[in-house]
Amino acid sequence: MARKGQGQRDVAEFELVPIEKVDVFRSVVGQLDAMVAKLRPGDSLGSERELAERLSVSRVSVREALRALQSMGKIEIRRNAGSFVVDPGGKMLAPLLTSSRPIDEGFIRDLVDVREAIETRVVALVGARPPAELVPAREALALAEREMAANGAEGQSGSLDLRFEAALAAACGNALLARVQRAVHALWIDAAIELGIEYGDRATLHSQHVAILEALEAGDGDRAVQLMAEHVHQVKHLAS
């Protein structure tokens, strides 16, 4: 059982209901998101094993959900240490952007355009920075490859893994842009969960990430921007 520091809340006090096999990912994210919202920055969520047992799901399902929460900027996953709360609210701009319209497929199509503007600008800024800034992005892709190999077929379906994009934003030199990106990522994931859709298979999305990084490493920033735009806009067709 993970220890909690002084002033931290005990995650065991939050009720997690075992999940049926239908719509597992959506249910896992929803329950963990609700739990995180009531915790404080620095609190530990406990181990994957503990969460999986309490929810009656596989550790792979828990891992995918934690990865989604990390992409939303709500938690931090520390290797060999577990998951910890960073920003319990985590959405920032989300209430403003969703207050005047429902989350539907039209919303996703509009959100694709917003994502393109943000992600391509991030790539353009990263392309103008020293190659050493790309190391975290390369590490994110290496971790994703290890996870896909370890998880097998269970981990290859539609992915909400945005760690690569977040790693690029962290290296772009514009902290405000990175914060806005996290808010849009939160909306992106919320929309997928709300509508029960997938944005593409993980292997294909990963190969596109690799191509973007290789273009950046080769010093071809224009090509990297083009590839990122194509990567984001393929989802528009899935949502059409």
The residues spanned by each domain of the chain are 11-85, 94-239
Beta strands in the chain (DSSP E): 75-78, 82-85
Mean pLDDT of 14-37: 76
3-state DSSP: the chain helix, strand, coil percent, rounded to 5?
A: 65, 5, 30
Mean pLDDT of 106-134: 94
Question: What is the reported pLDDT for 195?
Answer: 79
Mean pLDDT of 101-119: 88
Report which of residues 125 and 96 the model is more confident about: 125
Torsions phi, psi for 84 (to 5 deg): -135, 145
All residues at 6 or more sequence positions from 48 whose CB lies less than 8 Å from its CB, including other chains: 59, 62, 63, 66
**At 81, is the pLDDT very low, low, confident or very high (cuts 50, 70, 90)?**
confident
Question: What is the reported pLDDT for 64?
Answer: 84
Beta strands in 34-187 (DSSP E): 75-78, 82-85
- Say if CB 1 and CB 46 are below 8 A apart: yes
- Say if CB 227 and CB 212 are below 8 A apart: yes
Beta strands in 9-148 (DSSP E): 75-78, 82-85
Residue 62 is inside which H or E element, if any? helix 59-71
CA-based nearest residue to 217, from 149, 155, 150, 168: 168
- Say if CB 29 and CB 68 are below 8 A apart: yes
Distance CA 51, CA 32 (A): 9
- DSSP code of 130? -
β-strand partners of 78:
82
**At 95, is the pLDDT very low, low, confident or very high (cuts 50, 70, 90)?**
low
Please give the mean pLDDT across all residues of the chain.
83
- Say if CB 84 and CB 45 are below 8 A apart: yes
Class for domain 11-85, per CATH?
Answer: mainly alpha
CA atoms within 13 A of residue 219's CA, in its CB half-sphere: 1
Tokens representing residue 195 in the block: 């509508």
Longest dimension (CA), the chain: 51
Q: Could you tell me the fold of the domain covering 94-239?
A: Four Helix Bundle (Hemerythrin (Met), subunit A) (1.20.120)
Mean pLDDT of 198-215: 89
